[in-house]
Structure 1
Amino acid sequence: MRGRLLRAALLGLACAAPLPALPSTESHDASLQVLHWWTSAGERRAAKILATRLGEEGIEWKDNAVPGGAGLGAGKVLKSRVLAGDSPGATQIIGVSVGEWAELGLLRGFDSVAAAGNWNRVLFPTVYSLVQHHGHVVAAPLGIHRINTLFYNRKLFTRLQLSPPSNWAEFEQVSRKLRAAGVAPLMQSSEPWQVATLFENLVLAESGPEYYRDLFVRLSPQAASDKRLREALFRLRGMKGWMAPLEELSWPDAVRRFSRREAAMLVMGDWAKAELNEWGFATDDEFSCAPMPGTAKLHLYSVDTLAMLGTDSSRMAAQEKLAKLVVTPAVQQQFNAAKGAVSVRRDADPTGMDSCARDSWTTFAGGAAAQAPSLVHRMAADEESRDAIIAEVHRYFMNDSITEADVQRRLAAVLRALNLRRRK
């Protein structure tokens, strides 16, 4: 209900005369205020690269970073600022949310920038589709994150003569050996979105991309009754036995504990690699990564994008410069190396990437058959659907008295209700 009321309020804002802007220190012709949720050490380094490169174009990047895992805080700030008539010049908006904001008429289009940069040819088709709405380009893509990433302590695995597990039988075998050596096999936060990230990995591993899309993109109530969902839920609960003591940790804290050898493995998007690098742990030395067991040759993805609010014409030149800049080969290479992601460009050179990035980029390049959009990171479904599914999964994970059948019944009912709302 709150989401629909907010949408109605924003729609009214888009159709009515603009509200008077709040006092601002931003000089629109020489600066852009950028709202985002890059607040960890690795993310700040990546944002600084964009700020520096934009400064070289004569435009000051005014940073507006909002803390909060998965961008929850930044989303609330953006909505409140737009309603107050004080929208930032550029903002991080990702996945399905891009189309929702564009539908309200609040995003500036970049068709001319995209045409000049041959975005239709140089970008991966999935990425190019994500930044379009009704055939017009309305966002600039930054990088592709791989969510189905299993980080492991390389030195520990070498000492114990272990290989990263490629299937679930191997995962359990490796976990038993780690436990026998006195090491917790898996680091995991009980924070809802992090639990749901593990769950969407398990759904993809148990079922493959087609069923995954039935459940999380098409929101099929029939998919909620499928035995493959029951198996993924059963696996999620079973993995609790291999985890370090559960706490609700921010993702940087979970990564930090992994780096301290409090657990030998970690399931996290590849932004964790940037954080480890910032703390002095080199990829393929202290740690390395592999696809989640059961997801080799699959890519559970999230794509970072920047959108520009289009209500102030004095910002247009600076916004177009930023949109053009972030897709250039040099910025793509520098930003994504710092962020832990990979380039959105099909002509990127994978030979200069570390092993984690190279496998991510080449797997994504395999095309739509290898790709699955992350539910948790807004690639698969709208905010209301995402939040409803995460709530059910987290409730099951935290309460062992809830059965898999209970969750399936509740999810089927939730998906039926969401589909009814979609048709209204």
Structure 2
Amino acid sequence: MNTFKLFLAGASALALSTAANATDLEVTHWWTSGGEAAAVAEFAKAFDATGNKWIDGAIAGSGGTARPIMISRITGGDPMGATQFNHGRQAEELVEAGLMLDLTDIAEKEGWKDVIRPSSLLDSCTLDGRIYCVPVNIHSQQWLWLSNAAFEKAGVPVPSNWDEYAAAAPQLEAAGIIPLAVGQQPWQTTLAFQVLLVALAGPEAYTKIFGEKDAELAAGPELAKVFQAADKARSMSAGSNVQDWNQATNLVITGKAAGQIMGDWAQGEFQVAGQVAGTDYTCLPGLGVNEVIQTGGDAFYFPKLDDAAQTEAQGVLASVMLSPETQVAFNLKKGSLPVRGDVDLAAANDCMKKGLDILAKGNIIQAPDQLMSPDSLQQINDLFVQFFNDTSITAEGAQKTFVDLVASAD
């Protein structure tokens, strides 16, 4: 038998083996926008190629909407095969309760510690030395997305930093353009504040406040400047009457709004709309002030199941999600950066290259979910929802409440 026939025989045997053990696996997530759907389809395609079948369990809304549903199913005895969470502490209690599959053997066999960068991503999946999740991307919220057409219409040069952008607001409004698009989902206003904090007060101040719970720093003059900028952002977004983040992104894509403070997942929406980075839109990491990459993002956990074939399929999916080929295909569609440091991203666009360059320099910070508990973050979310929607709350008043929340945070 020649080499080619041996190859065919081996491939046929593998296919038969895979088919014999193949099973359906429900995967829950909150990726429902155009760009997100295109990205998650890459995961489904790669998993289906193993002979198993991805059963899509998309939950409309945001993570804040989806997570309680996911957690309720897992704790209520109706677990899915895999589920999305953000990097950090969101699934900590589920792991401690013994409800999540231990992936340590797979991780050691495939050398995850050698390829996942930065190492803090895998650390966020680790509890008591055991690995319970697969980080799949690096998402940073530290971006300002600008419509080149909107600034051209207003007769204003595309800004290169936050101060230039804020100064252009009156001319943008005079041209009938919303200066800043912000949706009504609660996390969007907190995100805008956090990005302003990192850009204007600096990464160290952010880490001390969210990580070390430094209430004294939170009460100081540097943070007062951040709250004044948040007040400016509030006035710039007054005409932005949309709900979801991708609806706000669409205002920028269509030139109805000049810009949006949003994570790099917004880039997927620009791609679906056929827009080109550097030509149709401009991206400013760190608002053009402090260029850093936040090492947040998405990870998948695998609830324990009673079915042996499904448990085997869970391991296959974990491996597939982290394979070099899938990492490239998924992250190019998602707008995020891959968690592997050994993949070829020659096809990366202008904005992704900026992100990769910042990552290579080591200018990174951890995501809020990695620094503060979900309950504490929810209280801060609530504060900024109130602040952005109630103009009677002053910057000084909001800062005072924020200080109290930081002091009591865990």
Give the structure-1-normalised TM-score.
0.85
* Contact 2:81–2:305 (Cα < 8 Å) also in 1: no
Q: Distance in 2 between matches of 1:156 and 1:234?
A: 25
AA matched with 2:386? R
| 1:221 Cα deviation after fit | 2.5
- Out of 319, 335, 339, which is 1:324 matched to? 319
* Contact 2:183–2:244 (Cα < 8 Å) also in 1: yes
Task: Say whether residues 1:347 and 2:342 are aligned partners.
Answer: yes
Q: Structure 2 vs 1, CA of residues 380 and 322 (structure 1 numbering), >3 Å: closer, same or farther?
A: same
| 1:34 Cα deviation after fit | 0.5
1:184 corresponding residue in structure 2: 178
Q: Distance in 1 between matches of 2:364 and 2:406?
A: 23
| 1:108 Cα deviation after fit | 1.0
AA matched with 1:274? G
2:351 corresponding residue in structure 1: 356
2:46 corresponding residue in structure 1: 53
Q: Give per-residue Cα distances to partners, 1:91-143, cap 9 Å, x unaligned.
A: 00222214333222221111222122221111111222222222211111111
What secondary structure sits across from 2:207 in the alignment? helix
Q: Structure 2 vs 1, CA of residues 177 and 409 (structure 1 numbering), >3 Å: closer, same or farther?
A: closer
1:365 corresponding residue in structure 2: 360
Q: Distance in 2 between matches of 1:158 and 1:402?
A: 34
Aligned length: 388
AA matched with 2:212? R
* Contact 1:190–1:248 (Cα < 8 Å) also in 2: yes
Q: Give per-residue Cα distances to partners, 1:61-95, cap 9 Å, x unaligned.
A: 111111112x1222111122123211001000222
- Out of 96, 99, 112, which is 2:92 matched to? 99
Q: Structure 2 vs 1, CA of residues 163 and 149 (structure 1 numbering), >3 Å: closer, same or farther?
A: farther
Task: Say whether residues 1:242 and 2:236 are aligned partners.
Answer: yes
What secondary structure sits across from 1:185 in the alignment? strand
| 1:407 Cα deviation after fit | 2.5
Point out where structure 1 has 5 or more consecutive residues left out of the alignment.
1-26, 420-424
Task: Say whether residues 1:65 and 2:58 are aligned partners.
Answer: yes
Paired residues for 1:33-52 under 5 Å? 33-52=26-45
Q: Give per-residue Cα distances to partners, 1:384-404, cap 9 Å, x unaligned.
A: 011001111222222222233
* Contact 1:225–1:412 (Cα < 8 Å) also in 2: yes
Paired residues for 1:18-417 under 5 Å? 30-69=23-62, 71-94=63-86, 95-124=88-117, 125-157=119-151, 164-243=158-237, 245-312=239-306, 314=308, 315-367=310-362, 370-375=363-368, 378-417=369-408
1:16 corresponding residue in structure 2: none
User: Identity percentage over the alignment?
Assistant: 27
* Contact 1:46–1:336 (Cα < 8 Å) also in 2: yes
| 1:363 Cα deviation after fit | 1.3
What secondary structure sits across from 1:257 in the alignment? helix
Which region of structure 1 is more displaced relative to structure 2, 175-184 or 313-322?
Answer: 175-184
| 1:287 Cα deviation after fit | 1.8
What secondary structure sits across from 1:351 in the alignment? coil
* Contact 1:155–1:285 (Cα < 8 Å) also in 2: no
AA matched with 1:49? E
When the two chains are superposed, the root-mean-square deviation of aligned CA atoms in Å is: 2.3
Q: Structure 2 vs 1, CA of residues 110 and 67 (structure 1 numbering), >3 Å: closer, same or farther?
A: same
| 1:282 Cα deviation after fit | 3.1
What secondary structure sits across from 1:188 in the alignment? coil
Which region of structure 1 is more displaced relative to structure 2, 49-58 or 145-154?
Answer: 145-154
Q: Structure 2 vs 1, CA of residues 131 and 256 (structure 1 numbering), >3 Å: closer, same or farther?
A: same
1:11 corresponding residue in structure 2: none
Q: Give per-residue Cα distances to partners, 1:355-413, cap 9 Å, x unaligned.
A: 1111112212333xx222333xx343221011001111222222222233322332333
Q: Distance in 1 between matches of 2:115 and 2:307?
A: 28
Q: Structure 2 vs 1, CA of residues 192 and 74 (structure 1 numbering), >3 Å: closer, same or farther?
A: closer
Q: Distance in 2 between matches of 1:392 and 1:274?
A: 29
AA matched with 2:314? Q
Give the structure-2-normalised TM-score.
0.87
AA matched with 2:193? F
* Contact 1:35–1:90 (Cα < 8 Å) also in 2: yes
What secondary structure sits across from 1:198 in the alignment? helix
AA matched with 2:83? T
* Contact 1:189–1:247 (Cα < 8 Å) also in 2: yes
Q: Distance in 2 between matches of 1:296 and 1:332?
A: 28
